[in-house]
Amino acid sequence: MKKTKIICTIGPSSWDPEIIRKMINLGMNCARVNGAFADANELDKVTKLVRDVSDKVSLMMDIKGPEVRLNKFSNPITIKPGDIVKIGNSPDSEIYPSNFKDLYKHLLVGQKIVIGDGDVELKIVKIENENIFAEVVFGEELKPGKSMNLPGSNYTSSILTDKDIENLKHSLKLGWDFVSASFVQNANAAREIKKYLNGTNMKLIAKIEDSSGLENLDEILNEVDGVMVARGGLGVELGLEKVPIAQKKIIERAKKAGKIVITATQMLESMINSPKPTRAEVTDVATAVLLGSDSLMLSGESSVGAYPVEAVGYMAKIALETEQYISPEICNGGLDRPTKSKLLSALAKAAAQFATEYGTSLKAILTISEDGEIARLIAMNKILQPVHAFVSRIEFARHLSIVWGVVTADVFNIDFSVADKDEILKIVSSQARSLGYVDPGDKVLLISDPLVQHNQRLLSVFEVVEV
């Protein structure tokens, strides 16, 4: 079983139920919907598509925040350097910002506009009669519906648009597991989103895609459940040459903070049109795994590409091959957090150290906890053994679907108020064996979270057993 998780953006190419089934079977762990295009009907559709196949694959709603997008004009427009593109301010114009009225008031002559992930760059030469006139610096084709990146501009004060709030509320109603938020620049932005998550089980992933997000990364990490290395935005905002080091820094700091980290954007981009990736893309995916990513994300490859199933298959194969060369790295992530997490982090570190020293004769780690946090904290040490988590509810199992090294997560059937230690060992060992996670005679480390047990007489389980 692969330890690196795969997040797939769902779109027209993957709306077919059989395509979804094949993607899940090949290793898709989380289905993502791009909030820039989604509405309630699409969220309903994706929920049914995934849940008809699996209740363990998680669902991630992406909210676009202050991102500006071009309207969906009828056909791509051929351009060349030196051409002047006219961007209007209303549906009466051929091209206009579809989700930001009066954008022209916030821009200046000389400012750069980068379209999409950097395929087109424009420079504003004139603003007149509510129209923006921009010269093409480079690019061959202007495509409808693409994002308009405006490096250095401060054109909004809110992290959430009305559409974001509408989509977020609907995804919460449907029981989605994660929200990934674009352009989170500081802790206040994260807290603004968290207001909508109070009382829910939804986890917040902050997309880091500009210099402000990088500069304030540590304070953002204190507020969120994980971060995404959004390389598209980083490339536009920082310059392409700075993306690799930014990626490395984000992954390192997320690991130190004990948080989930996802690497995204153009990982297998050529597979939008090709059944095989390039050598450079294979190396890029492997590098993201070696640096410590919990999850890797497919975007256009799985949403609009011609080979969504093949893209998942290749990403899984690359991850499996690369994972053989990852060495355990015992870390102190989370030890400076509140008391419960601090205790769990210490326990997880001890378990990881024990598993590393025990070596290959220890086949797996089985964890028992209410919410699965102990499994996540053990796995982030990149230990050799797979972690199999047993949790109290299916929602907690899905939260582990994007965590490196937690290869399975299931709901346990244990009443802690009456169970004793021997009974717990027997029940969990039997369940893991019946599910095929371990073989009879295997030695496993079985560890429980001492903070969720209600029986005062029961101590934490930390024991090597033969299943």
List the single range of 38-47, 65-74, 271-280, 375-384 with lowest mean pLDDT.
65-74
Q: Region 15-27: what's the mean pLDDT?
A: 98
Assess whether pLDDT exceeds 70 at residue 452: no
Assess whether pLDDT exceeds 70 at residue 47: yes
Assess whether pLDDT exceeds 80 at residue 334: no
pLDDT category at 339 given cuts 50, 70, 90 is very low
Assess whether pLDDT exceeds 90 at residue 363: yes
Q: Region 248-268: what's the mean pLDDT?
A: 95
Look at residue 95 in the predicted model and tell me its pLDDT: 95
Assess whether pLDDT exceeds 60 at residue 459: no
Assess whether pLDDT exceeds 80 at residue 279: yes
Contacts of 436 (CB under 8 A, 6+ apart): none
Look at residue 25 in the predicted model and tell me its pLDDT: 98
CB 142 within 8 A of CB 87: no
- Which tens digits make up the pLDDT trace of 81-125? 999 999 999 999 999 998 788 889 989 999 999 998 788 999 999
Q: Region 447-454: what's the mean pLDDT?
A: 64
Between the CA of residue 180 and those of 64, 214, 325, what are the distances in Å? 9, 16, 30
Look at residue 337 in the predicted model and tell me its pLDDT: 52
Q: Does residue 283 or residue 371 have the better pLDDT? A: 283
Look at residue 157 in the predicted model and tell me its pLDDT: 55
Assess whether pLDDT exceeds 50 at residue 46: yes
CB 49 within 8 A of CB 10: yes
List the single range of 194-203, 431-440, 455-464 with lowest mean pLDDT.
455-464
Residue that has been written with the tokens 């401060």 in this structure: 154
User: What's the rounded Cα separation, in Å, for the pair 274 and 408?
Assistant: 32
Q: Region 241-249: what's the mean pLDDT?
A: 97
Q: Region 259-269: what's the mean pLDDT?
A: 97
Look at residue 330 in the predicted model and tell me its pLDDT: 85
Q: Among the ranges 144-158, 217-231, 324-338, which has the highest mean pLDDT value?
A: 217-231
pLDDT category at 333 given cuts 50, 70, 90 is low
Average model confidence (pLDDT) across the chain: 90
Can you say whether the dihedral through the CA atoms of 404, 405, 406, 408 is positive or negative? Answer: positive
Look at residue 414 in the predicted model and tell me its pLDDT: 74
Q: What are phi and psi of 75, to 5 degrees?
A: -140, 155
Q: Does residue 322 or residue 149 have the better pLDDT? A: 322
pLDDT category at 457 given cuts 50, 70, 90 is very low
Tokens linked to 304: 């609009």
DSSP summary character for residue 105: G
User: What's the rounded Cα separation, in Å, for the pair 154 and 156?
Assistant: 6
CA-based nearest residue to 264, from 62, 435, 466, 73: 62
SS3 398: helix
SS3 365: strand
Assess whether pLDDT exceeds 70 at residue 451: no
Percent of all residues in the chain with a pLDDT value above 90, rounded to a whole number:
72
Terminal-residue alpha carbon distance, the chain: 19
Assess whether pLDDT exceeds 60 at residue 285: yes
CB 86 within 8 A of CB 93: yes
Tell me the β-bridge partners of 264: 230
Q: Given 3-state DSSP classes, what are the helix, strand and coil percentages for the chain, each rounded to the nearest 5?
A: 35, 25, 40
CB 428 within 8 A of CB 57: no
Assess whether pLDDT exceeds 90 at residue 454: no
Domains, in order of start, for the chain: 5-66+157-322 (3.20.20.60), 68-149 (2.40.33.10), 339-466 (3.40.1380.20)
